[in-house]
Amino acid sequence: MPDAVMTKTNAAQGAGSAMLEVRDLHGFYGESHVLHGVSLDVRQGEVVTLLGRNGAGKTSTMRAIMGIMGKRTGSIRFQGQQLIGMAQHKIPRLGIGYVPEERGIFSSLSVDENLTLPPVVKPGGMTVPQIYELFPNLQGRGSTQGTRLSGGEQQMLAIGRILRTGANLILLDEPTEGLAPVIIEQIGVAVRALKARGFTIVLVEQNFRFAATIADRHYVMEEGHVVDMIPNDQLAQNMDKLHTYLGV
Ligand SMILES: Nc1ncnc2c1ncn2[C@@H]1O[C@H](COP(=O)(O)OP(=O)(O)OP(=O)(O)O)[C@@H](O)[C@H]1O
Ligand SMILES: [Mg+2]
């Protein structure tokens, strides 16, 4: 099944043009084999989602890309460089930013301190004023402590601080989880603005109504591999299939 999916994908975008190219990726937590041959491509400037039920392997795919996993086999190429076998600390320095589901905000630090903590890895990152412009909710909150932020504000801060580093591929794990509709809408506005600025984004999302408003393509994962790829403009005619995949 993944082979058929990749053939379709390559035909759609031309082989070799991907910024991120994942092939037959297997991943393990200790003895537990959780990724079973993930293959996907992300082109420069795209917003791509990973959809799938709980436990499908979406987070593990992001962790495998970042090297935060015991053992990985297969191939993960970012701008031509092979990430399998690369030391974990080198991967962010290539320009890949990861915003994990748990956000990782330092509660004892202020908004400004959180924003400026991750090291700049490449030129071209956004400035702190530009980040405040992108997330107006954070504007004027620079000296507020991390714990005093709402869930939505913490999510904005978690995304914002990655943008300063110069990373040009951003991996976002369930940025809308548990947030109110009005905040989800604001995150959507920000993701669209980032796409317009040229960022490339991979987004894990349970809420595909939200995903449909921002993504170019959707990869569907089941049991540790990609089972389908649906271009956003073909979402409507694939809704029944998607409901079956996601069990909703
Ligand atoms: N630290 C871990 N140790 C062992 N197994 C794990 C670990 N983290 C996840 N798993 C297992 O790996 C599989 C994939 O989990 P993963 O978290 O990648 O799924 P997911 O698609 O992100 O799910 P969710 O929608 O619940 O976030 C699951 O079977 C899960 O139980
Ligand atoms: Mg997950």
Report pTM.
Answer: 0.92
Instruction: Identify the pLDDT of residue 8.
Output: 44
Instruction: Identify the pLDDT of residue 11.
Output: 39
CA distance 176 to 188: 9
* Residue 116 CA to ligand 1 centre (angstroms): 30
Checking if the pLDDT of 15 tops 70, the result is: no
| Cβ neighbours, 10 Å, residue 42 | 23
Atom of ligand 1 nearest to the CA of 204: 22
Atom of ligand 1 nearest to the CA of 53: 25
Checking if the pLDDT of 133 tops 80, the result is: yes
Distance of CA 57 to the CA centre of its chain: 13
Q: In which residue are the tokens 């082989």 written?
A: 15
Specify whether the CB–CB gap between 42 and 202 falls below 8 A: yes
Please name which ligand lies nearest the alpha carbon of 57: 1
Phi then psi dihedrals of residue 22, to 5 deg: -110, 130
Atom of ligand 1 nearest to the CA of 52: 21
* Residue 167 CA to ligand 2 centre (angstroms): 22
* Residue 55 CA to ligand 2 centre (angstroms): 7
> Which domains occur in the chain, in start order?
3-246 (3.40.50.300)
DSSP SS3 for 89: helix
Instruction: Identify the pLDDT of residue 12.
Output: 43
Q: Tell me the β-bridge partners of 78.
A: 20, 81
Checking if the pLDDT of 7 tops 70, the result is: no
Cβ neighbors of 156 (< 8 A, separation 6 or more) are 135, 137, 138, 186, 187, 190
